[in-house]
Amino acid sequence: MQTAPAPVIVAIDGPSGTGKSSTSKAVAAELGLSYLDTGAQYRAITWWMLSNGIDVEDPAAVAAAAGKPMIVSGTDPALPTISVDGEDASGPIRTQEVTAAVSAVSAVAEVRARITGLQRSIAAEAAEGGPSAEGKGRGIVVEGRDIGSTVLPDADLKIFLTASPEARAARRSGELRGKEGADLAATQAALLKRDTADSSRKTSPLKKADDAVEVDTTELTLEQVVECVVTLVKEKQLAE
C-alpha cells in the first residue's frame, strides 16, 4: 500500500518581481499544499498603519501600534485571502501608497516579531493538519524575503529566486500597463529601491539562506520555474 508523503515545508524567497508569488501558488496547487504570501501580511499591517494615521516614517510610533491590528491569512493557493480586523484587505494592500510605505514598516523589529510569530503558527498548523490548513496536513509553501534564513530555518526545501532587474521591471510593467506606475524605467527604479531597503535593514533582511537552491528565472518561463521547484520538492519527499 502506498503511504502519503510526510508533510513538507517549502520556503521561497527572493527580491521583488522574481516570480515568488506566481511560482509558490502554482507549486502549492500542483502538490496539494497550503500557500502563504508573507508580503501580503506586511502590506496588510502597513495599510492598517496608513488607515489609522500612524506616521510610517516614525519607527517608535509603528512599533507601539504593531500589536493592534488582527491579520488573518487564508492559505488556499486557489484563493489566497488576507483580512485586517475582519475587513478584506486584498485590494487596498496593492496600492502604490502601500507599496511605497511597506519597506519602512516591515523594517521595524516589533512588526517583524509579530508577523514572524503568525507565519510560524500558520506553517506549523499546515504541517500538522490543524483547523485552518486547507492543504490538509500535507504542508505549505511560504514565500517572502526571510523565510529560509529566519522564519523557517528548518524548512525541508529552500529556494531563492532571482532575475535581472530588466526582466523584473518588464514583468511588473506588463502587469501595470495602463495604470499608475507602468513606465519601465520608473518601475525598475522603484523595485531596486525596495530591494535595497529590504536587504539593508537590520532585522531579518532579504537574504539567501546558506542552504537555499538559487534559481535564476531571467530566461525561464513561469511554467519552467514551477516544474523545476515541483521536481525539487518531489526529490526531497523521496529522500525522506
Ligand X SMILES: Nc1ncnc2c1ncn2[C@@H]1O[C@H](COP(=O)(O)OP(=O)(O)OP(=O)(O)O)[C@@H](O)[C@H]1O
Ligand Y SMILES: Nc1ccn([C@H]2C[C@H](O)[C@@H](COP(=O)(O)O)O2)c(=O)n1
Residues contacting 125, CB < 8 A, separation 6+: 131, 132, 133
Could you say whether residue 19 binds ligand Y (CB under 6 A)? no
Question: Smallest distance, Å, CB 162 to ligand X?
Answer: 10
For residue 142, the partner it binds in ligand X, ligand Y, none, with Cβ less than 5 to 8 A by kind, is none
The single residue among 134, 198, 212, 220 that binds ligand Y, judged by CB under 6 A, is: 198
Q: How many residues bind ligand Y (CB under 6 A)?
A: 14
Site for ligand Y in 168-197 (CB under 6 A): 194
Could you say whether residue 138 binds ligand Y (CB under 6 A)? no
Chain residue at closest Cβ approach to ligand X: 19
Q: Strands 81-84 and 87-88: what pairing?
A: antiparallel
For residue 134, the partner it binds in ligand X, ligand Y, none, with Cβ less than 5 to 8 A by kind, is none
Do 12 and 159 contact (CB within 8 A), yes or no?
A: yes
Q: Which is nearer to ligand Y, 67 or 129 (CB)?
A: 67
Where does residue 235 rank: exposed (0-12), middle (13-18), buried (19+ CB within 10 A)?
Answer: exposed
Q: Which is nearer to ligand Y, 5 or 72 (CB)?
A: 72
Question: Smallest distance, Å, CB 131 to ligand X?
Answer: 27
Question: Smallest distance, Å, CB 189 to ligand X?
Answer: 14
| Beta-ladder partners of 214 | 160
Annotated binding site for ATP: 14-22
The annotation places the binding site at 14-22
